[in-house]
Amino acid sequence: MTNVRKVYRMGDTDVVALDHAELTVASDEIVALVGPSGSGKTTLCSIAGGILSATDGSVVVGDEEITGYSDKQLTRFRQNRVGFVFQSVNLVPFLTARENLLVVDELGRRQGRPARERADRLLDELGLADRAKNLPSQLSGGQKQRVAIGRALMNEPSLVLFDEPTSALDTKLGIQVMELIRSEMKSRGTAAIVVTHDERITEYCDRTVHIIDGVLAA
């Protein structure tokens, strides 16, 4: 991410949500992005994941320069190159745990059998093999987060973005989830940005980047 700015127009005034952000994440690095509410964490993550477009600057994920992408191109980019674990809604309630993973394949290239095998393997790795046919309403908070992690890994992404992944969990479950995130990212050599305002999470990350009022500080 080079010299990235995001400016929102609010009535007659411009609000700078991200100001000349410079951030490079290595291919197997886990970066904690820490900052208070409204500091620009989610904006930075959204730009890195192709959910938002930057006003200025350049964003490259893997070998793909996404600056200037159209909505359609950004949708395809999110489908193929990025994994997301959001803070609030993470699973589709009318799909089982396994189907929540398979939906990624359905929306994309539709590999069929290899995708089904991959979903089963991921659920097994995440300790959810016996919960594959359960609906989200039948899963605990920790299990739901693990399914969301599995879904984020289904498309073999270059980058996974975690937005407050432990905020809805108690301390013990939060630690378990962070340990899982770390082991999954490291075993795959996948880059990750973990957005948090909880300093305890940072010990599971390789590096911590602070953000205040849209400005990054190492």
Residue ranges binding another protein (CB under 8 A)? 42, 45-46, 51-52, 72, 75-80, 82, 84, 86-95, 99, 102-104, 106-108, 135, 151, 155, 163
* CB 180 within 8 Å of CB 149: yes
Nearer to another protein, 26 or 107 (CB): 107
What is the rounded (10 degree) CA torsion for 156, 162, 166, 168? -100
CA distances from 13 to 5, 8, 16, 81, 157 (A): 16, 8, 10, 35, 37
Residue of 185, 175, 187, 188 lying closest to 207 (CA atoms)? 185
Q: Whole-number minimum distance, CB 202 to another protein, in Å?
A: 20
Q: Least distance in Å: CB of 75 to another protein?
A: 5
Among residues 167 and 203, whose Cβ is nearest to another protein? 167
Q: Which is nearer to another protein, 50 or 142 (CB)?
A: 50
Q: Which is nearer to another protein, 60 or 92 (CB)?
A: 92
Q: How far is the CB of 36 from another protein (least distance, A)?
A: 16
Q: How far is CA 213 from the centre of its chain?
A: 21
* C-alpha span between 188 and 53 (Å, rounded): 28
Q: Which two tokens stand for residue 141?
A: 């908070």
In the complex, the smallest distance separating the C-beta of residue 151 from another protein, rounded to whole angstroms, is 7
User: In what helix (H) or strand (E) does residue 182 lie, and over which residues does it extend?
Assistant: helix 171-188
25/161 with CB nearer another protein: 161
Work out how close the CB of 17 gets to another protein at its nearest, in angstroms, rounded to a whole number: 11
Q: Which among 19, 33, 4, 2 is positioned nearest to 192, based on CA atoms?
A: 33
